[in-house]
Structure 1
Amino acid sequence: MVPLRGHTPTHLDDPMSETGWRPWLPEAIAAFVVLVVGFTEAAMFWAMTDGGHAAGFAQALVVAGAVGMCRRAPGAALGLVWALGLFHVLSHAPIMLSEFALTAVFFGGARWGRPLTVVSSALSVPLAVVVAFVLHEGRVFSLYLLLTGARPGGMLRAESTTPLILSLIGLLVVAAPWPAGLVMRSLDRASTSRASMLAAEETAAGALRETEHAREVAHLRDQQTRLARDVHDVVGHSLAVILAQAESGQYLDDTGKLKRAMQTIATTARSSLQDVRQVLSTTQDATTGRDDADRLDDLIVGARGSGHEIVASELGTPRPLPREAAAVAYRVFQEMLTNAIKHGRRDQPITAERHWPPPQPAGGVTDTLRIEVTNMADAAGDDSAGRGLDGMRRRLEAIGGHLDVRRREQTAGISFTVTAFVPVRNGA
């Protein structure tokens, strides 16, 4: 029998799950041998008693049947043993030597039987000895004939010590198979348990590998999303500056101003190309190693190159930010200025404010750096400033910050104020 994949065979699967005639072949051969021996013995007894005991053939048939079922149906085989024992007690029929083959039934009950069958087979062992050698006082036909050489009859009773000796020998012969079957049952269960444990470990290892694979895939996707977001921020900011300079250059008659506009376009494009290369070549921020305040100032300088008026203010004392917080602050501020340039009115200034938290002792509570950018909408009711807000919001939420967007009606028009709250641990 080949077990199904994912199924661990148990002692109940073997032999009950097998089909066809081949699995029964060993038991059939054993039953046939016992039947031949039993019929031969019964024929000898029948001839020596002048046909006085014909029940020996039935006894041989019962023994052969019990031996044939000891593996497939140990409970039923044990039932035949009890029935045969009851027959001996009631009829005082002599016990045949071939009935010692019933020890295979005791072995089968301990090896393959259910718990109740195991207990019953254990109780059957001493009862079988009592029936065979105590109640019948040694009337085992073939064995008595072998020991005494006498014909059964008036001399059938042996000396007083014979039943005791035969009882001891019989106890050893009959009792030995039962513990052997129990040991093999325990070894089988241990083997099954080990196989189940190995299968469980293999399943757990497979699940762990799948989990690690899923984690790696999620990490790669997160890196791809972060890379795409960084490239979008860099390219979007530079293109906004370049577009603003290109549009203003169409109306410049002064050669000097036109050259400065072209120079700004070239500088912005070169800086953008360098930033994109840095983003694609490393996971670190392009400006790592510089002061965080200087990095943010560079963004303001680049935004002013677009021709927009940028009113910048900084309150509090700048401080170094944690690496992740510094990267988020830089990218979010870049996106805020880009939106303001793209969607803000050119005749109205863009205000950019940075509020640094006051210094606290090391180990203090987490405070926030507040970055605020305000611009006037290019057209009444224009919501274009809301583009890119989802990306900024995700960046901030990833480090415990948040984004606030306000739309206000003013005399000059509609203003949009975007405020980013970047967590800063005091004493960082």
Structure 2
Amino acid sequence: MIRSISRAQLIVDVVVASVLLLLVIWSATIQSPIAGPVVVLLLCGALAVRRLSPALALIGAWAGALLQIAVLMAVTPADAAVLGVAYASASYGTRTIRLIGLASSITGGAIAAVYLTLSSRDEYINPVGSPTHTVVTLIALGIGMITLFVLSWTLGLLARTVRQSREAKVQAAVAAQRAAYESAIEQERTRIARDMHDVVAHSLAVVIAQADGARYAGATSPEVQSDALGTISATARSALTEVRLLLTQLRREVPDGPQPSLDDLPALIAGMRGAGLRIAETTSGTPVPLLQGTGLAAYRILQEALTNALRHGDPARSVTVELLWEPEALHLRVRNAVVAVAPGTEPADAVRSAGHGLPGMRERAALAGGTLTAGPAADTAGAYEVFAVLPTTVAPREEAAQ
């Protein structure tokens, strides 16, 4: 019977009911010192809990109205609470409460018409005028009161329909965004598979060539056979690790060409500078060789981050690119200033999250065994940061498996 509503909604309902209570409590007390305040409290209480519990609101409204009729109390502004309860029963109640609210609106309207027809200002239960006049008045009031109550209930039902329609649109938008995100990840996996196809093919070609050479030269040159076996071991180990890190399945696609790595970073930065991006680059620590898949992931992450900075960042301020080499991990950080947006427009990070770039970067980092975070910088206002950590060595459990 109790719904979950926000604190602001509850406060508004209580305040409105309290104001109405203060306005009518005095006049109701004058009319009926004992029953008057009770009637007003029941009606205003029903108004206060109409969204919190439409069922309790209906009970309170009926109790107040029946008590008012029983003591022959005149109509007060507190009776307007009945309209709010009828609205809430349709807008916030369950299917049973909605039907009870509709029946209450029709029945209550009829009872109110009879009560108003048979009452006068000075004396109650005293038909005014001729019986014909009384019947006409009763019919007119009945139509008017039932229409008023049912109209309040109908407005509540309409508000409920509009609210459910909006919620359905939001859920559909969330589902569409989730589907687009998953599609972007799947497309990025396809691109990663295409990139790594060249790597795996090269590794297998080296293994085959070295094995053939060792087989032919083994009888006459044992040292050549030993070198070939060492090359085969290193190449196969590296290829196996890259497959485990970066591929779930291989696609038989024609590679586009040689794959970039961190060695190509100077050319990438030079190209971005040529496009108008101001870049401040810093490198610390001792660089160590990376697996080709990890180097490719690092290059692609930096490429996407710099592209996003060029598209969405403030061109008047510099972009910071930091590479921190540690014995077991490479830390990549790209930070750029965000252009201030006008009220009502979407911020740059919202625009980025809707595209395929961030899902692709996260996927590359995860498949390389690392992590990536992207969002507003925690220590600098108005800045956007992409931070990735990529392993520089094979995990111990993978070395053991080999």
* TM class, shorter-length: 0.3 to 0.5
TM-score (structure 2 length as normaliser): 0.48
TM-score (structure 1 length as normaliser): 0.45
